[in-house]
Each structure stands twice: as structure tokens, then as C-alpha cells.
Amino acid sequence: MTSLLSIRNVAKTFGKTQVLRDISLEVAQGEFLTILGESGSGKTTLLRVIAGFEQATSGELWMGGERLDALPPYKRPVNTVFQHYALFPHLTIGDNVGYGLRIAGVSKADTATRVQEALAMVKMTAHAEKKPSKISGGQQQRVALARALVNRPKLLLLDEPLSALDANLRRQMQIELKALQREVGIAFVFITHDQEEAMVMSDRIALLKGGRLEQIATPREIYSRPATSYVAQFIGHTNLLRGNVEHSVARCGSLSWPVQAADGPVALSVRPENVRLASGAAEGSVRFQGVVRQQAFHGATEMVRVECADGQVFLIRLSGEAVGAIGTILPLEFSPEDAVAVRDVEAAG
Amino acid sequence: MFSRAYKLAVALPPLAWVTLFLLVPYLLMFCYSFWAVASGNVVHQWNLGNYHDLLVKDVYRETLLRSSWIAARVTLFALLLGYPLAYFLSFYAGARKDLFYQLVIIPLWVSYLVRAYAWKTILGTDGVLNTLLQFFHITQHPVDSLLYSPFAVVLTLTHIYTPFVVLPIYAAMEHIPRNLVEASHDLGASPMQTFWRVIFPLSAPGMIAGATFAFVLSLGDFLAPQLLGGPSGIMISNIVVSLFGAAYNWPLGAAISFCILVLVVSLLALAERLEKKWSYS
């Protein structure tokens, strides 16, 4: 994995507000990296720092042995798809797509060919002569994508490009966008607040919280090995157990099991699908009983909220099994290795 | 939604107003322009003599041309002053935007006459400008050509109508989404290229509106030439005023007025078409 863009210790403050704190990460060649975070997490600011619309207060950006942050935005080999597309209203779709090429001094003939190719790639050839106000949001989205990609940037930045689309179109565009990224082989840095979208599309996810990088990993890894309690709760559902480790035994409420960890307070994440109805077959699993309090049917699976005798509430995901009505007592278990120790950011402040 | 009676009740007063104080006077004027004057009295005798006079007598055509030329210069200078000002206000004034905006508007609160007289005291033979020029020994004698010239009229009208040019351009620029500027930079365009390819075309409707204001208002102006123009700075409206006043030739005055009206209305129509063509929202 060769590094394309290197973000080193980037911080950004607006007045007294610290928006980005000591962000360091690498974007690999041809990678689909998603920057995920809630609103106010600093994800858009990070994108604007990469594009050059904001200057980092401290830290450096490097691309191919060159300081990217020393260049004005119009000299960076980076293009952006804006959240609200930002198509030029006075130019036709074709002229919008050709804008960057004309600025770069590409010949008229080459510009025409490349614009045609780019429009064909996003299936917008038929609309080349129209003005942006005459096409739908989803179509504007495609044009914005074509306008950025036609310049063959080394890196494409996408600022919540799907957030204005309705749910169905959004799912369709997620698939198209991912396929397109594979096809062109350009690295994408994709901003979103939607964890599902991030999971579906990304090679890696960088999760931001309060301007800090919580974790950067593949979707699979970030799901199964969350670094902090925040990551565990933000990505998918989880049961966060807080307790203590004493002499290599973890105690959370009435539950206890052997762990390999230093003594002291501990937070453990157990995914709902890792809790199952106790069968007695698995050796060494952690067993407990819970009363069904709530059920939500999701088709293939069912999410059940159960309450243990000590008051601890568990969310469990069962597939197929009938669990009985609310109030039923269920025997449950999980394997100790499915309880992943996470850094407890809430407790640590 | 609303009853017919309600709609009628709302529409009637303005309609009545426009009919009574605008359409009827125009119609009267139109009639007058086909009448004649004989021994100091208006004769209700239909003829095209007034329009014939306008075509054959050089003084009217020349004055109308001079008036247009003055109005064109006022428009040009007001644009040259107003466009950069509006651009600065909209894009670079930052936190002081509102203050600067008020500063543009404040001159509009001062009476037109006061501002015209102010230029008289500045440009006069013993005026502020001549005193300064002599004080710094740039000239030995006062420069007489400053006041009572087309120059004085253009200067005064430019001063008076520049805010009318600034405001629509400023409004158009405020409506340009800032992410378009960012998108342009993102696609490799320098600030200069971005200005010419994005900001300038998108502010064009405001520019047309401002230019129309300045041209139409200057063309019909009669106070500035009266106070500061002198014999060489007379404009078409001064002729109309004298025809309706001292000369007591209402029919000819009406004919000139009607020509100006046609000219101005066609200009406004043209401007509106251009604005529509170049607006994209």
C-alpha cells in the first residue's frame, strides 16, 4: 500500500474553538477512505484543509514528496465534489464538466472528447446541453462527479455527496460510486455522518470525534475490534459492559470471566449477534439469564432487549429462533473472546 | 383562495391611482403632441408639425444626442466606481460589511439639491477646488471651465447615481453561492480566472439593472444641467421645461416628452430581456 497523501499532526482552531486536534493519517493510492463522524466532529474541516479552502493552524500535508499545504487550492492535484454540488448555473452541463480542462489549457478537441467520456461514465450524455437548474438532484450529483473526475485528479474529495438524496437513490448511488471508484482507480476521501454508508463503501474508515481521530481501520476491523467505547457504540450496536479486572478476572455486575488484562477498571464491548441462547455446548462461555423486555423484528434477524437480574440490559440479535413473548426468561451466553476491551472515552473524559 | 370581491378591492386603489395620475396624463400629453400653438394659444387641431420640427430642427436632435452622451458617460463612470465597490463590499468587507453598506446608502438621504449645490461650491471660480489649485500653485488663475460645463454635469450625476448602481450589483453578488467560488478554485482557476468566469457573469444582471437606473435617471435629469451645466451643458429635459414654461409651447414639449418616453421604455424593455437571459436561478 503506497501512501498518496500524508496528513501529519494537523490541528485547526477557529477563534477559541479547536476543531481539529493532532490528526495524522495516510491515504493510500487508489483507496476509498471514509472520514466518518457526527456533525461538529471536524470531518468537513479536515476535507477543507486537504482541498485548501482552510489553512491548518499547525501540521503538514504531504503528497508525492511535496508540501500540499503550501499550495493554493487551484494548484493542488485534488478535486472536490461539494455537498450541494456547486454546479455553475450559467454554464451548460457540458461546459461545467469541461471547466477544469479549459482552465488547464487542454485543446478544444481533447476537451470535447474527455467531456463526452466523463458524461458517458456517469450516464449524463443526453443532458450535455442543459443548464444545471433543469436536471434533478441525483443528476446534478453525477455531473458534479464527472466535473471532478474529468481532470484526473490524484485524489478526489467528496463532502457528504449523497446526503441530499432520498434513501433509495442514495443506496443506488452508494453502489455506483463504489464501482466507479474501482473503475477509475483514483483515491477517494469520502465524508459522511452515516456509519452504514461508511461500512458499505469504504476500504478504510477514519472515525473522528470532537476533532480527534478515534480509530482508522477497515470496516471489518473497526466493527470487530473497536478501539474505544465511542467507536463501538457509533458503529453498529453494542453492549458496553463496564467493570473491573482483578487477578486476571473481569467482573461486570454479576458476570465474571477470565481475561488477559492488567488490573483496574475496564470497558468491554459485546456485539448483539455474539450473544446467543445458551446451549451448554460451548466450554467456558459466560452464562446469564435475562427477561425479554422488547423485541424488534428485522426480517432475517430479531433484536431483543433483555434485562438481567442485576439490572444490566443486553441487546441481542437472534436469527430465526422464536424467543417467546415479553417477560419470557431466556438462558443466554457469550464467549469471553467476543468481549473486546475498549478504551473507555466516556469515563476517561 | 381569496374571493373575487376581495381581489378587486385590493387591486382597485392602485389601479385607480395609476390610471388617474399616470395613464390619463400620458394620454393627454400624447394628444397635446398632435396639436399646435397659434398666437400664444393651444389650438386643438390635429397635425404632425411638432414631430416634423423635431426631425428637421438640429437643436433638438443635438440636445438629445448630448443628453444621451452625458447619460452614457455617467453610466460608465458610475459602473467603474460602483462595480469594484460592490465587489469589495460583498466579498472582502468581512465584519464591516453592514457599516460600508450604510455608508453607500447615507448619501441618498441627503437632498439632491444640497448635493448639486455642494458641487457648485466645489467647482466654482472661487470654489474649493480652484482655491486649492492656486494654493498649491498648480494654476495661477482660477479655472473657469470646471463649472457650467458638461463635465460638471457628468461629475454631479455620477456622484448622485453611483449608489443606484452599487446596490443592484451588490445584491446580485450577495446571491452568488460562495461554494461556486470554491468550486472554481478547486477546478484549477486562479482568483482572476474565477472572477471573469464565475463572478462577473453571475453579477451581470445586477450590472444591467444598475446601468439602466443610471442611464435613464441621468437622461431625464434637468436640475444638474440647470444648476451646473451652463449653456454648453443643456440637456433635453431643460428644453422640455422651458417649452412648458416660458415658451408656452405645450404641444412641442409634449412631443419631445413622448419621444423620450418611447426611448426610455424601450431601453427598460431591452434591459429586462437581457437580465432575464442572464439570470439563472
Q: What are the residue boundaries of the structural domains of chain A, listed by start? A: 3-228, 232-348
The mean pLDDT of chain A is 90
Residue B178: list chain A partners with CB under 8 A.
none
pLDDT at B281: 54
CATH architecture assigned to B57-277: Orthogonal Bundle (1.10)
Tell me B124's DSSP state.
S
Find the mean pLDDT for residues A9-14: 94
Query: In angstroms, what separates the C-alpha of B206 from chain A's closest C-alpha?
Result: 14
Find the mean pLDDT for residues A314-336: 84
The per-residue pLDDT for range B233-246, each reduced to its tens digit, is: 889 999 999 988 88
The per-residue pLDDT for range B75-105, each reduced to its tens digit, is: 999 999 999 999 999 999 888 999 999 999 9
Find the mean pLDDT for residues A205-233: 93
pLDDT at A346: 63
| Gap between the terminal Cα atoms of chain B | 27
pLDDT at A37 over 60: yes
Q: What is the Cα–Cα distance from A137 to A188, expressed in whole angstroms?
A: 21
Query: In angstroms, what separates the C-alpha of B190 from chain A's closest C-alpha?
Result: 6
Q: Do A86 and B183 touch (CB under 8 A)?
A: yes
Q: Do A82 and B183 touch (CB under 8 A)?
A: yes
Q: Is the pTM of this model over 0.90?
A: no
pLDDT at A343: 86
For A287, the grid coordinates are: 452464562
Nearest to A103 among B179, B193, B202 (CB): B193
Q: Do A89 and B202 touch (CB under 8 A)?
A: yes
Query: In angstroms, what separates the C-alpha of A218 from chain B's closest C-alpha?
Result: 29
Please check whether residue B212 is in contact with residue B202, taking contact to mean a CB–CB distance below 8 angstroms: no
A83-87, A269-273, B134-138, B169-173: segment of lowest average pLDDT: B134-138
The per-residue pLDDT for range B208-217, each reduced to its tens digit, is: 999 999 999 9
* Three-class secondary structure of residue A104 per DSSP: coil
pLDDT at A283 over 80: no
Per CATH, the number for A3-228 is 3.40.50.300
Q: What is the Cα–Cα distance from A18 to A40, expressed in whole angstroms?
A: 11
The per-residue pLDDT for range A137-180, each reduced to its tens digit, is: 889 999 999 999 999 999 999 999 888 788 888 888 899 899 99
Residue B180: list chain A partners with CB under 8 A.
86, 88-89
ipTM of model: 0.86
pLDDT at B129: 86
* A-B C-beta contacts closer than 8 Å: 65
Chain B positions touching chain A (beta carbons under 8 Å):
177, 179-180, 182-190, 193, 197-198, 201-202, 278, 280-281
Please check whether residue B74 is in contact with residue B212, taking contact to mean a CB–CB distance below 8 angstroms: no
Q: Higher confidence at residue A346 or residue B173?
A: B173
Superfamily of domain A232-348: Nucleic acid-binding proteins (2.40.50.140)
Find the mean pLDDT for residues A237-254: 87
